[in-house]
Amino acid sequence: MLKVVRQRLPNGLRVLFLQLPHVHSVAMAVMVRSGPRFEASSDNGLSHLVEHLLFRGTRSHPSSLSFHVAVEALGGEINGLTQRDATTIHLTVPPRATEDGLALLGEVCTEPLLTGLDVERDVVMEEILDSLDSDGNDLDNDNLSRRVLWAGHPMAQPVAGTIAGVERFTEADCVRFFRRAFVAENAVLCLAGPVEPEALMPAISATFSRMPSGVPLPEVGAPHPQIRQPIQIRPTDDSQISVLLTFPAPHENHPDFSTLLLLRRVLDDGFGARLRQAICEQRGLAYSLSVTIDAYGDAGAFDIEISCAPRKLVSAVRHILLTLRTLVTRPPDFEELRRAKTRHVAELEFGLDDASEIAGWYGGCELIGCQMGYEERLSEVMAISPADIRRLAARMLTADQALLTLVGPVRADEVGFLEALLDRPSGSTRWLSEPEVYEDEEDDEDVWEDEVA
């Protein structure tokens, strides 16, 4: 169902052909090492802003309107995504428009005009403001959690940056960053769908050979997760509390990553999963619940997120922790694990009908040096045993490693109960009523700023 062919252009650009002859679309994506991981604090948010500017026009289509009309005339869809360690520009077209789509994608990544800064600056600031309160305090649980979990490391920075930073960036800053990041040695091109390498390599070479070879962006080492951190609370007057419980987790290149994938499914993959039953179905403590994995080449986070009424907060956190503990005291039996594996295999099979998903998966793995393919991941997952789940849960899902972040109307008289549940010192909780700089952050920041620069 899936054949992978790897090629490389003379300038160093890696090209992956993911052959899915049965689908009726071609997804193509250029992925570059970019994002907060490669930004000093003075540049934080620049990767994201440059991603926005790429769609403002190219040499052949010199305006945002003319460029997007050209994409839509092919029946295509184009978009961009900036993460903590990568920027992806992805285009999906009907198979008959593959070569024309490649030409457009190539222009975006090699000859963008990078104009319209004032307009895109306003768009990005609206995006940032969407996660701030009226006093400018960050309400994004993910931002608050990562700032503590990976404190002192560039990946602790928000992807979109700050209002002050985005206001400060100039067109020269954007051009400088584009020229450093969008180079062949820092990028991967993926094509997924009914694609034939021999037929498409001339079109790829004609466009992407214009990309300078360059060098990969420099980076600092892996972040060191901060454990036993105080509970952090951002008070608001909303009707519900957003609860985020985060644990340091295996990264994509770690031998336990496949075990982590199944552990997540045991906890939250359908209404029969353990956390879904314990929190939603049996007790009605929350309506929304999600367990997600935020994984990179050398760092990972395991997030459990719910929204609940203030009066249910302590009970919800308590039952989450109790449910996590049962993975050690009562690990999944073979039947429960078989269901999780069946669901995992089904999702992998569904992915074979989604060219964009396959392109994103393989391109991301190639970018971080993970050579785990479809068949290898499937084989690893099928070999996981209940003892593997128990071992990882015992090591990872402990109270001392848990980072609890709350945004909402938290009652002060309940904080002591939460501190006891997480075995934190009484009175240690951080109330984030005002923007603050965490202790020692500036000293660490100076170190990685120099290394990134």
Domains of the chain: 3-208 (3.30.830.10), 232-422 (3.30.830.10)
The dihedral formed by the CA atoms of 374, 379, 381 and 382, expressed in degrees to the nearest 10: 140
**pLDDT value at residue 440:** 38
Question: Hey, how many other C-beta atoms are within 10 angstroms of the C-beta on 350?
Answer: 10
The rounded distance, in Å, linking the Cα atoms of 158 and 148 is: 12
The dihedral formed by the CA atoms of 375, 377, 383 and 386, expressed in degrees to the nearest 10: -150
Tens digit of pLDDT for each residue in 271-289?
999 999 999 999 999 999 9
What the block records as the tokens of 160 is 């979109």
What the block records as the tokens of 400 is 């001392």
Which residue stretches of the chain have pLDDT < 50? 435-448, 451-453
The rounded distance, in Å, linking the Cα atoms of 243 and 317 is: 8
**pLDDT value at residue 108:** 96
**pLDDT value at residue 434:** 52
Q: Which of 236, 259, 233 is nearest to 244 (CA)?
A: 233
**pLDDT value at residue 206:** 95
Length of the chain, in residues: 453
What the block records as the tokens of 452 is 């990134």
For the question of whether the overall pTM of this predicted structure is more than 0.75, the answer is yes
Query: What would the DSSP string read from start to end of 136-179?
Result: S-B--HHHHHHHHHTTTSGGGS-TT--HHHHHH--HHHHHHHHH
**pLDDT value at residue 42:** 95
**pLDDT value at residue 199:** 96
CB 184 within 8 A of CB 216: no
The rounded distance, in Å, linking the Cα atoms of 130 and 133 is: 8
What is the H or E stretch that residue 17 is in?
A: strand 14-19
**pLDDT value at residue 377:** 85
**pLDDT value at residue 435:** 43
